[in-house]
């Protein structure tokens, strides 16, 4: 007896009428195996004592799920081979305890990005190359259930009133979600992963991201408390590189990090991590990066690290660099060092002060010491392509 025939017989028994075995269809969401998994998962939830689940360790819950599922398979006479049984148990454990179909991808250390374009389009970036996987969700409802599981753990919500949300996983991976009506073809989920062990300068040397001379110079810049701006486009490795730079900061210094979504992994013991907060349902209670940078100045920092400068906090960051907080580091989304300067100038204007352009540029030239430009190459590797020293002003122009 096949799985399809078993499902048809089960359907007949439950409905009290003869049911023709459904045809074998090739669409992933309608595969008989997925129907079987959904059926057993529903029955598992019915059998579990949810009042005691919270008190169990992951290992205990995993063992209970395995026992219950295998008993159901045996009692119902479901026609599965041993490899199929093992696969089914693991997948139901993932559905119950983790993030369902995404769990195998999250356990793959070579994957840096997971991109879900609706239930049947799951892509990953592996070693700098994007590839389509054979992973899929049953339907949009299944995908939304996993998304809800992610955002609820960090106190966020996603619905028609709030169709875009940023979150993070327990391992620090950054998550972005956008759902209909903004995402026309179904929910879209993006996960930017970060290694359990932060990369060191030696790793970047081995990858060819920089030369030994660069590595020595960058370490010296950090120890000399130079103010550094890491610039690069999407996926250029700015956050990873900032993490590597921060490893050269002496362990006895007090570091305050400010981020939209916490993803920096600093090794120093005297580190305080600050993260922004979105507004509540009523549109109140938001805490911005600018709020956090201002607060960081009151926390007796030796260094302030802003994960990515995006808006009006640029003014406060420049003022901090100009008022004794040397050694600060930040990143910015820009395709060239000169573009980075232009973007900072625009961001300062977002602070609401009617400052002359020359005054802003003078602030920039006196605050920043070095701009490091990163780029993602056509073969998927990331490299430091430009090192620009900010030397001052000539007329109205910042000189590099």
* Mean pLDDT, residues 116-130 taken together: 91
User: 333 — alpha (psi -120 to 50), left (phi > 0) or beta?
Assistant: beta
The three-point CA angle 160-164-168 to 5° equals: 130
Residue 183: CB atoms within 10 Å = 16
Entry pTM: 0.74
State how far the Cα of 9 lies from the Cα of 242, in Å rounded to an integer. Answer: 59
Give the range among 127-136, 152-161, 308-317 with minimum mean pLDDT: 152-161
Give the pLDDT confidence score for residue 246 in this predicted structure.
93
In this predicted structure, what is the pLDDT of residue 75? Answer: 79
Q: Given the structure tokens 């007896």, which residue do they identify?
A: 1
The mean per-residue pLDDT over the stretch 17-32 comes to 45
Per DSSP, which regions of the chain are E strands? 111-117, 122-126, 129-132, 164-168, 174-178, 188-192, 228-232, 255-259, 271-275, 303-306, 329-333, 370-376, 382-389, 392-394, 397-399
Helix (H) or strand (E) holding 235: none
- Give the pLDDT confidence score for residue 176 in this predicted structure: 93
* Residue 13 binned pLDDT confidence (cut-offs 50, 70, 90): low
Mean pLDDT across the chain: 85
- What is the pLDDT averaged over residues 161-175? 85
- Please choose, from the candidates 301, 336, 294, the residue with its C-alpha nearest in 3D space to the C-alpha of residue 318: 294
Q: Would you state the pLDDT for residue 393? A: 92
Question: Is 345 exposed, middle or buried, given 0-12, 13-18 or 19+ CB atoms closer than 10 A?
Answer: middle
pLDDT, tens digit, for every residue of 56-69?
Answer: 777 888 888 888 88
What sign does the dihedral 377-381-338-332 (CA atoms) show? positive
For residue 280, pLDDT beyond 80: no
At residue 52, the pLDDT reads 65
Q: How many CB atoms lie within 10 A of CB 63?
A: 13
Domains for the chain: give ranges and CATH numbers.
3-97 (no CATH), 103-192 (3.30.450.370), 201-399 (3.40.50.300)
CA–CA separation, 334 vs 41, rounded Å?
47
- The whole-number pLDDT of residue 54 equals 63
Crossing angle, helix 3-15 and helix 32-47, to 10 degrees? Answer: 50
* pLDDT recorded at residue 100: 87
**Can you give the pLDDT at residue 50?**
60
Least confident window among 10-24, 300-314, 375-389: 10-24
Rg (CA), the chain: 26
Please state, for a pLDDT cut of 90, what percent of the chain lies above it. Answer: 43
137 C-beta neighbours (distance < 10 Å), count: 26
pLDDT confidence of 49, banded at 50, 70, 90? low
Q: Are 308 and 229 in contact (CB under 8 A)?
A: no
What does the pLDDT read at residue 153?
Answer: 83
Distances (CA, A) of 65 to 52, 100, 177: 13, 14, 29
pLDDT band at 211 (very low <50, low <70, confident <90, very high): very high
């Amino acid at each position: 007896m096949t799985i399809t025939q078993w499902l048809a017989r089960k359907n007949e028994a439950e409905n009290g009428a003869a049911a023709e075995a459904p045809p074998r269809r090739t669409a992933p969401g309608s595969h008989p195996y997925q129907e079987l998994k959904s059926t057993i998962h529903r029955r598992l939830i019915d059998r579990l004592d949810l009042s005691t689940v919270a008190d169990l360790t992951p290992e205990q819950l995993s063992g209970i799920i395995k026992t219950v599922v295998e008993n159901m398979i045996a009692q119902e006479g479901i026609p599965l081979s041993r490899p199929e049984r093992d696969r089914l148990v693991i997948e139901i454990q993932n559905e119950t305890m983790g993030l369902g179909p995404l769990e195998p991808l999250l356990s793959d250390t070579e994957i840096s990005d997971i991109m879900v374009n609706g239930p049947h389009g799951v892509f990953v970036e592996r070693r700098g190359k994007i590839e389509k996987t054979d992973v899929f969700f049953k339907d949009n409802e299944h995908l939304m259930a996993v998304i809800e599981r992610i955002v609820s753990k960090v106190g966020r919500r996603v619905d028609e009133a709030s169709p875009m949300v940023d979150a993070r996983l327990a391992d620090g991976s950054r998550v972005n979600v956008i759902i209909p009506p903004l995402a026309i073809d179904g929910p879209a989920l993006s996960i930017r992963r970060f290694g359990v062990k932060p990369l060191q300068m030696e790793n970047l040397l081995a990858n060819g991201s920089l030369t030994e001379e660069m590595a020595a110079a960058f370490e010296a810049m950090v120890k000399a408390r130079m103010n550094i701006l890491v610039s690069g486009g999407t996926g250029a490795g700015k956050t990873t590189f900032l993490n590597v730079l921060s490893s050269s900061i002496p362990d006895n210094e007090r570091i305050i990090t400010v981020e939209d979504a916490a993803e920096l992994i600093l090794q120093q013991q005297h580190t305080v991590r600050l993260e922004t907060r979105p507004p509540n349902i009523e549109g109140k209670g938001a805490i911005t990066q600018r709020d956090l940078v201002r607060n960081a100045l009151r926390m007796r920092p030796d260094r302030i690290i802003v994960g990515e400068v995006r808006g009006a906090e640029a003014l406060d960051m420049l003022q901090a660099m100009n008022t004794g907080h040397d050694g600060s580091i930040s990143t910015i989304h820009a395709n060239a060092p000169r573009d980075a300067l232009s973007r900072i100038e625009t961001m300062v204007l977002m602070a609401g002060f009617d400052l002359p352009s020359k005054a802003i540029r003078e602030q920039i030239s006196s605050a920043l010491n070095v701009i490091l430009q990163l780029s993602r190459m056509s073969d998927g590797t990331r490299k430091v392509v430009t090192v620009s020293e900010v030397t001052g002003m000539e007329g109205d122009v910042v000189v590099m």
